[in-house]
């Protein structure tokens, strides 16, 4: 609740959703007492308010950052009802899919209290491999034949009986990184399974929320730590790359973010840590205690505090490929004999952001190469008198030697993979739920759930609205009509 004595300042208007009926409602985003609040009123369910940020200055600066918009090549829907009810993408969507997400199964072997999707184990859905191939074909068309990444999710993707076939198909399509979301149960139990994942070059996006048994029970509904650690042990042993995905929840595990980052730095197999802020949607998340809500900036500040300044908020840049309030990204050079060095300590943040203009994840592009060349020259000028500059130069040289060894050429793919092993990335990703939903962010989304007919739905829209309407994921599919009171006949323009 805002402080009544301080006058509000309107930052922008937008379209949001009613937290109860998910009807689209106009919303105001206002600064009050330093924080940022979204306010809206549902004709049926009344006034609603949610805090979006603790710092209006940070929110405004971040929201104003320039984006690199590349619209989808293929438009599937004309605007009829208005965002977010015309997904496909529609003509108002500004970003092509940079992170394709494919939901390959509805089956899951956990029932997490923070789960933001809907799963169905009886008569479970497993995507046919033919449909998966169609999705790959559509994505390649939309990307001019080349894809940086694809993410297979569920449910629990390791419950799909033909996951390995799908991974092989994604490899054959030339996708640079193929990631598989997992809770780690199957991997921890089955070493041969991990070996096969290694052979297929899959990267595991492992949910990893806590080291604390009490928090574990609150977030995952079970004590999963031993399973996660065993999974990590096997991934390390067999060279399976890992992205750790902790969901940050205020009062439960946010104080562990430093420990999780330290764990990531200690494990060679970890390429990224992708911190998600808790979202209150889906089969379980919608009923999770609201005191757990935490904003993007609070996570960045918590990282700063818990890592003793190893990573500060200024070491992060927003992704130009998405709405700037959705992703904050930091890259670090790994030093086996010292603390890692954030890229922003030797490269202007603007240059790091520019290097991320064309892709959600860093790749050896011309922009990055030019920025690194300039950084090396600057460091060289200082290196005689500045031990930190000398250390950074040594690490950058190591990076080059890893990617371009003089004793034998690596393939381009192997060089990129080798380079990724010399750095680590921290992504903070703030998903939306029905309370925080902002169509301004939705139209700029680059993460989309993909269908065999070529249609795509931004993941927040999908999690909040679309997934629960699909019979393959829920026993009783929701009907938009039940929330809107009947067939929509009016347009809902995106308000800016």
- Residues forming the site for another protein (CB under 8 A): 363-366, 369, 373, 376-377, 379-380, 393, 396-397, 400-401, 403-404, 406-412, 414-415
> What are the CA-CA distances from residue 192 to residues 13, 177, 226 (Å)?
53, 21, 19
Q: How far apart are CA 231 and CA 146, in angstroms?
A: 31
Q: How far apart are CA 245 and CA 242, in angstroms?
A: 9
CB of 168 to another protein, least distance (A): 23
Residue 205 CB neighbours (<10 A): 21
CB of 425 to another protein, least distance (A): 18
Nearer to another protein, 404 or 477 (CB): 404
Q: How far apart are CA 390 and CA 134, in angstroms?
A: 50
Nearer to another protein, 60 or 148 (CB): 148
Nearer to another protein, 122 or 407 (CB): 407
Token couple for 297:
């900036």
Nearer to another protein, 146 or 453 (CB): 146
CB of 423 to another protein, least distance (A): 15
* Helix or strand run (H / E) with residue 53: strand 46-53
Cis geometry, peptide bond prior to residue 144 (ω within 30 degrees of 0): no
Nearer to another protein, 10 or 370 (CB): 370
Nearer to another protein, 329 or 403 (CB): 403
CB of 128 to another protein, least distance (A): 33
CB of 383 to another protein, least distance (A): 8
For the stretch 325-342, what's the b/e string if a residue is b when 16 or more beta carbons lie within 10 angstroms of its beta carbon? bbbbbbbbbbbeeeebbb
Q: Which letter does DSSP use for residue 495 in this model?
A: P
**Three-class SS state of 103:** strand
Spatial neighbors of 470 by CB under 8 A, at least 6 apart, are: 477
CB of 372 to another protein, least distance (A): 9
Spatial neighbors of 484 by CB under 8 A, at least 6 apart, are: 21, 23
**Nearest residue to 58 (alpha-carbon basis) of 31, 84, 38:** 31
CB of 410 to another protein, least distance (A): 5
CB of 98 to another protein, least distance (A): 17
Nearer to another protein, 246 or 320 (CB): 320
Helices (H) and strands (E) in the chain, counts: 17, 17
Nearer to another protein, 255 or 378 (CB): 378
CB of 366 to another protein, least distance (A): 5
**Three-class SS state of 245:** strand
Q: How far apart are CA 28 and CA 38, in angstroms?
A: 6
Nearer to another protein, 408 or 476 (CB): 408
């Amino acid at each position: 609740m805002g402080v009544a004595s301080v006058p509000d300042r309107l930052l922008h208007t937008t379209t949001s959703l009613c937290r109860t009926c998910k009807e689209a409602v106009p919303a105001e985003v206002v600064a009050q007492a330093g924080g940022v609040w979204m306010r809206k009123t549902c004709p049926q369910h009344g006034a609603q308010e949610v805090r979006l940020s603790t710092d209006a200055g940070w929110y405004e600066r971040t929201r104003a950052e320039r984006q690199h918009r590349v619209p989808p090549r293929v438009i599937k829907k004309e605007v009829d009802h208005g965002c977010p009810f015309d997904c496909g993408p529609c003509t108002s969507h500004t970003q092509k899919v940079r992170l394709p997400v494919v939901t390959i199964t509805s089956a899951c072997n956990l029932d997490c209290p923070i789960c933001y999707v809907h799963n169905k184990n009886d008569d479970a859905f497993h995507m046919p491999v033919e449909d998966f191939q169609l999705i790959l074909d559509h994505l390649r068309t939309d990307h001019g034949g080349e894809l940086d990444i694809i993410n297979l999710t569920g449910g629990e993707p390791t419950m799909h009986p033909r996951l390995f076939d799908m991974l092989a198909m994604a490899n054959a399509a030339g996708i640079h990184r193929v990631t598989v979301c997992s809770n780690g149960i199957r991997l921890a139990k089955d070493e041969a399974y991990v070996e096969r994942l290694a052979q297929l070059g899959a990267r595991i996006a492992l949910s990893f929320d806590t080291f604390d048994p009490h928090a574990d029970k609150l977030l995952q509904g079970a004590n999963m730590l031993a399973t996660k650690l065993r999974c990590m042990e096997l991934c390390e042993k067999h060279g399976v790359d890992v992205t750790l995905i902790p969901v940050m929840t205020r009062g439960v595990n946010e104080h562990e973010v430093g420990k999780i980052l330290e764990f990531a730095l200690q494990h060679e197999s970890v390429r990224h840590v992708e911190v998600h802020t808790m979202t209150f949607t889906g089969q379980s998340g919608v009923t999770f205690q609201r005191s757990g809500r935490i904003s993007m900036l609070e996570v960045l500040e918590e990282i700063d505090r818990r890592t003793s300044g190893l990573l500060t908020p200024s070491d992060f840049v927003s992704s130009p490929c998405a709405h700037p309030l959705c992703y904050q990204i930091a890259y670090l050079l790994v030093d086996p004999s010292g603390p890692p060095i954030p890229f922003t300590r030797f490269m202007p943040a603007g240059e790091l952001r520019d290097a991320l203009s064309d892709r959600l994840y860093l790749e050896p592009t011309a922009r990055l190469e030019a920025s690194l060349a300039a950084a090396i020259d600057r460091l060289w000028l200082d290196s005689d008198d500045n031990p930190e500059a000398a250390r950074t130069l040594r690490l950058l040289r190591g990076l080059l030697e890893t990617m371009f060894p003089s004793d034998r050429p690596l393939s381009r793919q192997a060089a990129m993979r080798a380079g990724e092993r010399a750095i680590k990335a921290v992504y903070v990703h703030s998903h939306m739920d029905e309370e925080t939903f902002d169509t301004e962010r939705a139209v700029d989304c680059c993460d989309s759930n993909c269908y065999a007919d070529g249609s795509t739905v931004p993941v927040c829209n999908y999690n909040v609205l679309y997934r629960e309407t699909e019979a393959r994921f829920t026993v009783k599919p929701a009907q938009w009509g039940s929330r809107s009171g009947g067939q929509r006949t009016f347009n809902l323009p995106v308000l800016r």
